[in-house]
């Protein structure tokens, strides 16, 4: 009788067995829900690009109103990166303890408020402070969005979906240039106070923040990450989110066909870490960080940090100098190599050309920026298709190496259009590594420290972006070949370091 009893009970137990999160996510299907989240995540990335790149259009157009000297403009341009650096650790902690969706929603709303307020300031101190606070707010979506989207995708689709979302980051570059070109073509003005006149450049602060504001509204209707809910012990809520994914992906009004009835718990922390006093919060933040300093995560953290530093130094640092360098190369008219052109004039001359009191932004600035964005979008699409067959680690190694080679080749090319293409290749291939290193970080680190890991990796990258944007142009004017060799060397080191990551 014992064998008969076992055979009768076994199917019932099998039908009610608990599923792992990955199994449950796989059974929820892949389709409409992930597509919606890709667009939403892309809008968040676009918001981050708009806030950073938008100043490269706004500041030159505001010369005669704000009367800022080159040093003050440099500080305002770097303030957003300082804000991102200063708050990355805080947002990583909040995302790992309070939730990804909650942090993204409120951070994007706060970003929009700061951007609108920026459009009404009329002095250096106020604008500097508001852009710093904007950086603090936009720091959350610029990093946490990778974690949020990644936790709705299975391991086989994660990197590819993050790559598709990154298309909209490149779209942000095109958006900034096109909208700026259109708005600044008008010359209207109306007085708000005796000292403040609302002009087109002020409107740009508001228009550039629209994608982020729309994304913030959309997040109000989106669920929390089911992976996060599961690690918080909120298994029922996690299962409800997975059922919702199933209904959306299958186009059904009922989730009766979803066979998952229970999830294997993954609770790794308790409510005391969030609800306790100041000492408990500090202890919780320590608990979120210490695992990153232990094997094997320490190696992963260091490698991701090195690659983030390299990617941001090129994409953000060199990228911000791209329009000015191209203006100088095309206006030179000679057949000399790019380094010969960049070193022919003192850096003070270059700065005086950019920082003149004029409300007109050269059309070349818009065209080069649009070209950079379009190349980025095209490569993102291609990379997204390739990532279905090749691992993210392999693509990061290749991208870093190609960007390094392009940087070296720039010193030996004299054709202006080839120079522009090589610059775009170096900047965009390195820029794609920003997405790849974030996607790898989402895969490599456990859920309860994932937000912290991604935020700290991005903090290291933003620091290199701030330093690069401040010194790269000046270094090229002093010793252009050494600057290119140093940047390419950093890219090659990152490419080799990526070999230490697991396949």
Model pLDDT for residues 195-205, shown as the tens digit of each residue: 788 889 999 99
Distance CA 208, CA 203 (A): 9
Which whole number is the average pLDDT over 213-237? Answer: 92
Distance CA 235, CA 62 (A): 53
* Residues of the chain above pLDDT 70, percent: 85
Which whole number is the average pLDDT over 358-380? Answer: 79
Question: What is the CB-side half-sphere exposure of residue 327 using CA atoms within 13 A?
Answer: 17
Which whole number is the average pLDDT over 418-430? Answer: 87
Q: Tell me how long the chain is.
A: 503
Read off the pLDDT band of 349 (50, 70, 90): very low
Token pair of 489, please? 């060397």
Which whole number is the average pLDDT over 153-178? Answer: 87
Q: Which position has the higher pLDDT, 445 or 470?
A: 445
Model pLDDT for residues 10-58, shown as the tens digit of each residue: 444 444 678 888 888 898 888 899 999 999 999 999 999 898 888 878 8
Distance CA 25, CA 21 (A): 6
- Chain CA centroid to CA 218, Å: 19
Q: Is the pLDDT of residue 275 over 60?
A: no
Model pLDDT for residues 51-80, shown as the tens digit of each residue: 888 887 888 788 778 877 766 776 787 788
What is the reported pLDDT for 204?
A: 94
Q: What's the whole-model pTM score?
A: 0.78
Question: What is the CB-side half-sphere exposure of residue 101 using CA atoms within 13 A?
Answer: 18
Structural domains of the chain, ranges and CATH numbers in brackets? 17-264 (1.20.1250.20), 282-343+360-502 (1.20.1250.20)
216 neighbors 108 (Cβ within 8 angstroms): yes
Question: What is the CB-side half-sphere exposure of residue 247 using CA atoms within 13 A?
Answer: 10
Distance CA 291, CA 350 (A): 47
What is the reported pLDDT for 39?
A: 93
Q: How far is CA 454 from CA 34, 91, 109, 220, 292, in A?
A: 21, 10, 21, 23, 11
DSSP string over 447-499: HHHHHHHHHHHHHHHHHHHHHHHHHHHHHHHHHHHHHHHHHHHHHHHHHHHGG
Model pLDDT for residues 256-268, shown as the tens digit of each residue: 888 888 888 875 5
């Amino acid at each position: 009788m014992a064998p008969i009893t076992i055979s009768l009970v076994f199917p019932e137990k099998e039908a009610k067995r608990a599923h792992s999160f990955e199994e449950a996510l796989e059974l929820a299907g892949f389709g409409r829900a992930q597509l919606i989240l890709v667009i939403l995540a892309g809008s968040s990335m676009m918001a981050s690009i708009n806030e950073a790149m938008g100043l490269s259009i706004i500041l030159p157009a505001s010369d005669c109103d704000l009367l800022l000297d080159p040093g003050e403009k440099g500080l305002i341009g770097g303030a957003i990166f300082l804000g991102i650096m200063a708050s990355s650790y805080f947002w990583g902690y909040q995302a790992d303890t309070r939730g990804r969706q909650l942090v993204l929603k409120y951070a994007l709303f706060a970003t929009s408020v700061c951007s609108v307020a920026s459009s009404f300031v009329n002095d250096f101190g106020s604008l500097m402070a508001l852009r710093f606070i904007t950086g603090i707010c936009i720091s959350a979506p610029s990093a946490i969005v990778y974690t949020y989207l990644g936790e709705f995708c299975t391991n086989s689709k994660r990197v590819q979906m993050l790559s598709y979302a990154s298309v909209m980051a490149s779209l942000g570059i095109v958006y900034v240039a096109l909208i700026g070109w259109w708005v600044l073509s008008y010359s209207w003005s109306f007085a708000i106070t005796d000292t403040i006149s609302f002009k087109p450049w002020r409107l740009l602060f508001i228009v550039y923040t629209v994608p982020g504001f729309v994304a913030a509204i959309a997040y109000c209707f989106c669920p929390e990450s089911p992976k996060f809910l599961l690690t918080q012990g909120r298994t029922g809520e996690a299962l409800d989110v997975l059922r919702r994914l199933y209904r959306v992906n299958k186009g059904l009004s009922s989730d009766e066909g979803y066979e998952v009835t229970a999830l294997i718990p993954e609770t790794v922390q308790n409510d005391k870490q969030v609800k306790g006093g100041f000492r408990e919060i500090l202890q919780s933040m320590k608990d979120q960080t210490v695992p990153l300093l232990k094997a094997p995560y320490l190696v992963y953290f260091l490698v991701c940090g090195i690659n983030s530093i390299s990617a941001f130094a090129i994409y953000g640092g060199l990228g911000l100098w791209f329009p000015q360098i191209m203006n100088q190369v095309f206006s030179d008219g000679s057949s000399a190599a790019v380094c010969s052109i960049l070193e022919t004039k003192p850096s003070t001359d270059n700065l005086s050309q950019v920082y003149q009191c004029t409300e007109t932004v050269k059309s070349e600035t818009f065209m080069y920026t649009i070209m950079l964005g379009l190349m980025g979008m095209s490569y993102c699409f291609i990379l997204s298709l390739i990532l279905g067959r090749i691992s993210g680690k392999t693509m990061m190694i290749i991208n870093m190496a190609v960007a390094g080679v392009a940087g070296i080749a720039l010193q030996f090319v004299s054709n202006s259009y080839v120079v522009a293409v090589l610059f775009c290749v170096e900047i965009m291939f390195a820029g794609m590594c920003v997405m790849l290193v974030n996607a790898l970080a989402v895969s490599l680190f456990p859920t309860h420290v994932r937000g912290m890991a991604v935020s700290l990796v991005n903090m290291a990258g933003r620091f290199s972006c701030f330093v690069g944007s401040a010194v790269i142009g000046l270094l090229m004017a002093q010793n252009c070949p050494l600057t290119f060799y140093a940047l390419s060397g950093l890219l090659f080191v990152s490419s080799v370091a990526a070999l230490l990551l697991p396949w």
